[in-house]
Each structure stands twice: as structure tokens, then as C-alpha cells.
Amino acid sequence: MTGDEIRAVLFDLGDTLLEFGKVPKTRAFLAGARSTHVYLKEHRQPVSPFPWYFLRNLLRLRLHYVISNFIHQDFDSLEVLQKVGAKLGVKLSQPQWEEFAWLWYEPLTHCARIEADLIQTLADLRRRGLKLGIVSNTFVCRASLARHLSALGLLEFFPTQLYSYEFHVRKPSPEIFRIAADRIAEPPRNILFVGDRIDNDIRPALASGMRAVLKEAYTNRGQRLPAGAFQIARLAELAALIERINAGRM
């Protein structure tokens, strides 16, 4: 060992740990709108007719999305839902708001797939003494993501989770990589970052001093791998790759 061995692995979420592919966004949003509209009616909350409810929420989401891309900072979708609901006279408990947020997100979970042996892969990495964490750009609330990861049997592997809406920065800002290194309590040189985006994951991870692995996905098809980065087709390849790095064979 040279002191530069890999001691922690940080993962991007979408199309890295969870494979969403090209999501039919409008169809998923429509399904979420229907579920949440029914939920509000069942709880005797004030709600407009469905066509207006759907259109208003769609325009609101797109506006927040455009603004977040302009200022390079993600928004808290649960907080937005609560503020809008308060103006309309909606009164729900915190658990009910989290259920409401989940119903918006749930249709996307039906599009997500994981590698068949992902749990074994993560268990093997943890058994080797590696710390595991997630760093993801998202406006989906932590409660919904935790529920999704738990349903897939993945939540227990990730005591460290950084979601961009909880910070004033997001990837590819080097600051969120520094924060992640602090949270997982390892210097960047001892961290391997795994992601599917060259622009948001690989280049900034390398620039922050981490090692970086690009997972093959539709998001990087045909793009050139940056110098110094590694590439894998499946997360199951990570354990062998880390062994080679730590043995100084790469």
C-alpha cells in the first residue's frame, strides 16, 4: 500500500446505481398528477379539476427546472409542494406531505432497474472495508429516495448520501465533491467516484483529486473517456478494478 489506495466509493444515482434509461417524462408526470390529485381528494383537501391541476403543476415544475439550471442550484421539491399547498389551503401532516411527494415520484420508480447482482456487489465492497456513499443532482426529496432505495434493498449500504437540493451547489461544482470527501471522512485521493456523465461526474471528480470510473450508459455513448479515468460496463466489475488500483497495477 502506498497511501493512495481506494478506501471509499461514491456513486452517482441515476443511470449509475439506478438505471432509468430514457424516461417518458410527460407520461410519468401525468401518472404522478393523477395519483396526487386522488390523494388530495381522499383527504378532503382543496383541489382544482384535474386538467387545470395537471397543467398548473407541469408549468410550475418546468419553471423551477429552468431556474435551477440557470442558477446551477437544485430546488427542494417537497418544500415547493408545501408552499404552494399552503397558499391553496391544503393542510397535511409532515408524513402526509412525504406520502404526497412520494406519489409524484413513484411512477419514475417503475422505470428504474438495477443490476441483478448489485446487492452482492455492494456487500462485497463493504466486506472489503470500503466506505460507500451517494452524490446525486436531484430535486426529489430525501424521504422519497430513501423509500425507493429501501424497496430495492440498497439503502443500508449508503450511510453517506448527498443530494444537491440540500446544498447551494451541485455537480459539476468541485465544492460538492469536497463536501462529499469531508462527509465520508477520506481525502480525495482515496476516493473512487462512479458515474455515468463525463461532464457532471468524471471530469470534476478527477479535478477534485479523486479517481473516477465511467459506467457505460446511453448518457455517455460515443463520448471519449478523459485521461486518467477508468470505464466499466457493469458495477460488478468494481471490486476487481479496485484490487488492481490498490495493487499498483493501473
pLDDT in tens, 96-124: 999 999 999 999 999 999 999 999 999 99
pTM metric for this prediction: 0.94
Whether the CB-CB separation of 145 and 134 falls below 8 Å is answered with: no
Domain that holds residue 48: 25-109
Q: What is the rounded average pLDDT of the residues 164-172?
A: 95
First-residue to last-residue Cα distance in the chain = 13
Task: For residues 132 and 16, state if they share a domain.
Answer: yes
- Residue 120's nearest CA partner among 243, 237, 241, 247 is 237
pLDDT in tens, 113-154: 999 999 999 999 999 999 999 999 999 999 999 999 999 999
Task: For residues 85 and 55, state if they share a domain.
Answer: yes
**Where does a domain end: 48, 79, 109?**
109
**Where does a domain end: 109, 142, 171?**
109
Q: Which residue has the higher pLDDT, 142 or 22?
A: 142
pLDDT in tens, 42-75: 999 999 999 999 999 989 888 998 999 999 999 9
Number of domains comprising the chain: 2
Domain presence at residue 76: yes
Domain presence at residue 232: yes
Cell of 83: 408552499
Task: For residues 91 and 37, state if they share a domain.
Answer: yes
Domain presence at residue 2: no
Task: For residues 135 and 66, state if they share a domain.
Answer: no
Task: For residues 127 and 155, state if they share a domain.
Answer: yes
Phi, psi of 33 (to 5 degrees): -65, -40
Task: For residues 123 and 94, state if they share a domain.
Answer: no
Bridge partner residues of 134 (DSSP): 11, 161
Q: What is the mean pLDDT of the chain?
A: 95
Task: For residues 121 and 72, state if they share a domain.
Answer: no
Confidence of residue 1 (pLDDT cuts 50, 70, 90): very low
